[in-house]
Structure 1
Amino acid sequence: MPGTGLEQHPLLPWLALQHTAGIGPIRACKLRAKLGASWFDSPALKACALSDEQLAQLRTPQWQILERLLAWQQSNPSRHILSWDHRDYPALLKSWPGAPLMLFVEGALPALSLAQIAIVGTRHPSYVGRENAKALVPQLVDAGAAITSGLAIGIDGLSHQAALARGGITLAVLGSGLEHCYPKRHQRLAMDIIGGGGALISECYPWESPLAHHFPRRNRIISGLSLGVLVVEAAERSGSLITARFALEQGREVFAIPGAWQNPQAGGCNRLIQQGAKLVCEASDVLEELVAFSDAAIKIHPPATEELLPYPDLLDNVGLETTAVDLIASRCQQPVQEVLTRLVELELAGWVESVPGGYVRARRG
């Protein structure tokens, strides 16, 4: 408010734009470029085809919100407010006309400028979906990519965790204000992301609660920050497909891992592949598409020397879906007891895993 020394604060014009009805990011940036920082005194404001109501809103300083935002920022040195014209606003996101006018960040600002790959998927992944995320993320991290996702349960959370376990940097875009970690079960994960050199990001004011309409908007930031979006596992009506659609609008690459047609959680990925998304079987399928656009920040490692398979006839009959021991023995035409002994050896060596109902093939990094 007047007399507090905030009259010329650079955030005031952006707050005015955010609280003016009928002005979206594209028009807001044009107005900002035309009028500069002198919002409230500019005679050119009347010539911008604005209604009287819009003019009144633009000329109403949002003192209360500004003071609340500054208090939030000053309470922790790792908190940052980035307006669209801020030097640290991520350039890749900014290149899209629909980029948010303001971003709120907690964590390391340099993480926002890293070469990022978005990984998204269902909140209820199958065993195969979980294993695919755990197998691919470390390889993408090793190639120099930061992993960006939405902190949701399921594939999002697994991707963040796998990146951290590999010593990589990961970024989480929230559908709530940064004071309200959602889901609450991922509060510890959110702190680990910050501690690992990553960042939490939101366009919501820090005090805003998670609301349903925040999450589709959140998805455009996930894709906008990234060179490409990998959908690990998603049903045909999954929110992950919204992220993929935004990626296409933003000129980003879209990747999808195929799944069995009987698996409803794979329907969205299969549909994306039918529509032109690149089919992914291994990390190099993603990396070879992105390496040319990452200023050498992402690299492709040569494949490791192939390891000889123990008991190949038995392993050929253990897939990524649970297979009963007697079925494996029947397929191999070997005694059940002998098959069981070999499965235990393979489990100790990390080739298979025991799960309720039988065994599954382990995904080896």
Structure 2
Amino acid sequence: MPTGGTGMEYTAMEQYWIWLSSVEGIGPKRFYQLLSIFEDARSVWDALEDGGDRSLFKFLGKQALDNLRNARDAGYFYRLFDELERKKIRAVPRIGDSYPAALSAIYDPPPTLYVRGEGPLEDDRMFAVVGSRRATRDGSRAAREISEGLAREDVTVVSGMARGIDTCAHEGALAGRGRTIAVLGCGVDVVYPPENDRLAEQILEEGGLIISEYVPGTRPYPGNFPARNRIISGMTSGTLLVEGAKNSGAMITVNFAMDQNRDVFAVPGSIYSPLSQAPNRLIIDGAVPVVSPWEILEYYHWGKRPEAAPLEPRTQIQLDPDDESLVIPLREQELSFDELANITGFSPSKLNSHLTMLELRGIIIKVPGGMYRAYG
């Protein structure tokens, strides 16, 4: 049995875990099914001796079982770890100490993460910025400026290094002298899109990471990208959607975030822009509207916006009576949506409309726990 000798600092159990998760056709679902039958990954290796008992592996299907049998080979085992060492790629198994705790807690965590870069996979402040590949000029600017502002407050910006908003998010974080993590839908040794080759180098040079659940050499197959989005949302506190059409692929990440009980934020846009359909709808449905990094930073108490100079009386913001009935109690204490409804007597739709507009005007803010408070 091929334990040790890989030249890498893994326990024997971690080596078998990484081996099993690397086999083509053994995705997370089948991987965890195997572990529910066998005690651990090493037991799977042992059970495959002499081809293995077909009845124990019948749920895999013929091709996946053939792949597993072929991989039950010392040559395959050592080639895998030799390639990782040669390409300076870390394999981080879920059973290892370096695996992100937040990601481990989601419904279907990747069994193993492959990592380029030297920094940790988990920080106290991690936030996802995603959006359309066909970003507008304003959307690109918003992604860059918001990500730069987050990075300047020591927030690690996580995105997918795709064209458009993802690329702008990484570039903004680098401009803010911060750390950024790119989660790929291919092997970490395969840069996709290819024009982001220099961006990938910059991410690593500035202490960031490039990670994937796919073994090195995996090509960017279309089916890989929806699955990788659960990693982007799963390892972060919240996800910001900058631009996206109604059926945008970026909404997959947002939906994962909601399923994982993560916070959702959105940049509002023109009601006439197709790329504002998804973020505007999210805001209507309760996402936190974002027009600067400060909405995110203050939501998590990661930073406080600089105090503005007092306004002259003649330029004080004017509120209509309905808005005043909301703002006055929020100056005294944080209140929930239901508490505000009881105080004002507003219908849910009317209350949601007023709260959204007050947030966009920077008069109130939504804070963790679904509570609201006034600025100042």
Q: For residues 291 and 60 of structure 2, what CA distance do their matches in structure 1 show?
A: 55
Please identify which structure carries the higher helix content: 2
Give 1:112 shift.
Answer: 3.5
SS of equivalent to 1:212: coil
Structure 1 residue 51 and structure 2 residue 58: aligned?
yes
Q: For residues 31 and 2 of structure 2, what CA distance do their matches in structure 1 show?
A: 28
Which of 122, 128, 137 pairs up with 1:127? 137
Distance 1:56 1:25, change over 3 A: closer
Give 1:175 shift.
Answer: 1.1
Q: Is the 8 A contact 1:25 1:97 kept in 2?
A: no
Structure 1 residue 226 and structure 2 residue 236: aligned?
yes
Q: For residues 258 and 59 of structure 2, what CA distance do their matches in structure 1 show?
A: 37
Residues 184-208 of structure 1: per-residue CA shift (max 9 Å, x gap)? 1101100100110010001111111
Q: For residues 33 and 118 of structure 2, what CA distance do their matches in structure 1 show?
A: 30
SS of equivalent to 1:104: strand
Distance 1:51 1:150, change over 3 A: same
Structure 1 residue 285 and structure 2 residue 295: aligned?
yes
Q: Is the 8 A contact 1:149 1:171 kept in 2?
A: yes
Distance 1:123 1:64, change over 3 A: farther
Q: For residues 136 and 65 of structure 2, what CA distance do their matches in structure 1 show?
A: 53
Q: For residues 52 and 158 of structure 1, what CA distance do their matches in structure 2 show?
A: 43
Which of 172, 179, 195 pairs up with 1:185? 195
Q: For this pair of structures, how many residues does the alignment match?
A: 298
Q: Is the 8 A contact 1:141 1:166 kept in 2?
A: yes
SS of equivalent to 1:24: helix
Which of 52, 55, 79 pairs up with 1:68? 79
Distance 1:169 1:238, change over 3 A: same
Q: Which amino acid aligns with 1:24?
A: R
Q: For residues 60 and 262 of structure 2, what CA distance do their matches in structure 1 show?
A: 38
Q: Is the 8 A contact 2:148 2:174 kept in 1?
A: no
Distance 1:40 1:133, change over 3 A: closer
Residues 121-180 of structure 1: per-residue CA shift (max 9 Å, x gap)? 111221221221222122212222100001111111111111111100000011111221
Tell which deviates more after alignment, 52-61 or 226-235.
52-61
SS of equivalent to 1:138: helix
Q: For residues 60 and 137 of structure 2, what CA distance do their matches in structure 1 show?
A: 55
Q: Is the 8 A contact 1:228 1:290 kept in 2?
A: no
Tell which deviates more after alignment, 105-114 or 205-214.
105-114
Where does structure 2 lack aligned partners over 5 or more consecutive residues?
Answer: 316-376
SS of equivalent to 1:262: coil
Q: For residues 140 and 2 of structure 1, what CA distance do their matches in structure 2 show?
A: 46
Which of 92, 100, 103 pairs up with 2:110? 100
Give 1:91 shift.
Answer: 1.1
Residues 40-92 of structure 1: per-residue CA shift (max 9 Å, x gap)? 4479x98x975386796767625454333312221244x20111111111111
SS of equivalent to 1:110: coil
Give 1:303 shift.
Answer: 2.3
SS of equivalent to 1:151: coil
Distance 1:153 1:147, change over 3 A: same
Distance 1:148 1:65, change over 3 A: farther
Distance 1:274 1:186, change over 3 A: same
Which of 276, 280, 298 pairs up with 1:266? 276
Where do residues 196-275 of structure 1 align in structure 2 (5 Å cutoff)? 196-275=206-285
Distance 1:56 1:136, change over 3 A: closer
SS of equivalent to 1:112: coil
Give 1:272 shift.
Answer: 1.8
Q: For residues 98 and 189 of structure 1, what CA distance do their matches in structure 2 show?
A: 29
Q: Is the 8 A contact 1:107 1:198 kept in 2?
A: yes
Partner of 1:24 in structure 2?
A: 30
SS of equivalent to 1:181: coil
Q: Which amino acid aligns with 1:27?
A: Q
Give 1:264 shift.
Answer: 0.8
Which of 299, 304, 315 pairs up with 1:301? 304
Q: For residues 53 and 159 of structure 1, what CA distance do their matches in structure 2 show?
A: 39
The alignment's C-alpha RMSD in Å is 3.2
Structure 1 residue 11 and structure 2 residue 25: aligned?
no
Partner of 1:164 in structure 2?
A: 174
Distance 1:38 1:301, change over 3 A: same
Q: TM-score, normalised by structure 2?
A: 0.70
Q: For residues 269 and 56 of structure 1, what CA distance do their matches in structure 2 show?
A: 43
Give 1:24 shift.
Answer: 3.4
Partner of 2:322 in structure 1?
A: none
Identity among equivalent positions (%) equals: 32
Give 1:280 shift.
Answer: 1.6
Q: TM-score, normalised by structure 1?
A: 0.72
Distance 1:99 1:4, change over 3 A: closer
Which of 165, 168, 175 pairs up with 2:185? 175
Q: Which amino acid aligns with 1:73?
A: L
Distance 1:304 1:186, change over 3 A: farther
